[in-house]
Structure 1
Amino acid sequence: MKKLPPLLVYTVLRLLAFLVPLAIMWLFFPIFREYWWLMALFAALIGMSISLLFLRAPLSDASRSIHERRSARPAAPSDEDVEDGTQG
């Protein structure tokens, strides 16, 4: 089986860290149905806390893969190189 890209894994986990608390508050706390903006705010804070505590390894993997892709790309010429080449 092909391994999923780390950025996709991290994105899905972050979405779950937001959507699960949102669904729990929606189902079990009916007062939040009236104050949906407060429910979304609390879900965002809970999701951010969960991701800081438990998603450090997926974040490191995603960051590492982004860095590897960026460093494998050939460097673009700098402005000085372009200016020096056109003034010949």
Structure 2
Amino acid sequence: MKGIPSWITYSVLRLLLFVVPLVILLVLRIEAWIAVVAAALIGLCLSYIFLRKSRNAVATDLYAARHRDKPATTVDDDVEDAAIDSSEAATPRTKPHDTTA
């Protein structure tokens, strides 16, 4: 069994770094919208400082997923593409009739 994906770990930690300060600020009876903004800024700063390894792991996984080798095409795929191209080239293209005379 493979471990927990790095993006889940990173997302949960980021969420905790937002929720914990938010709860603390709300318990201190700070106005709700100010508490949300402050908690977001606190969470952003803390995640930037403490979650470097997790952030790099997520970035590496995203890069690897984006740059996977494309599956090799088979001869059947090439033959099918050639047949489609030749049938499109053989079909005459006509302009639609203008019936607004």
TM-score by length of 2: 0.66
SS of match in other structure, 1:20: helix
Partner of residue 52, structure 1: 48
Structure 1 runs of 4+ with >4 Å offset: none
Q: Please tell me the root mean square deviation across aligned C-alpha atoms, in Å.
A: 2.1
Partner of residue 67, structure 1: 63
From the CA coordinates, give the structure whose radius of gyration is larger.
Answer: 2
Give me the identity figure in percent. 34
Going by fraction, where is helix more abundant, 1 or 2? Answer: 1
Partner of residue 75, structure 2: none
Q: Which runs of 5+ in 2 are unaligned?
A: 72-84, 90-101
SS of match in other structure, 1:4: coil
Distance, in Å, in 1 between the alignment partners of 2:49 and 2:42 is 11
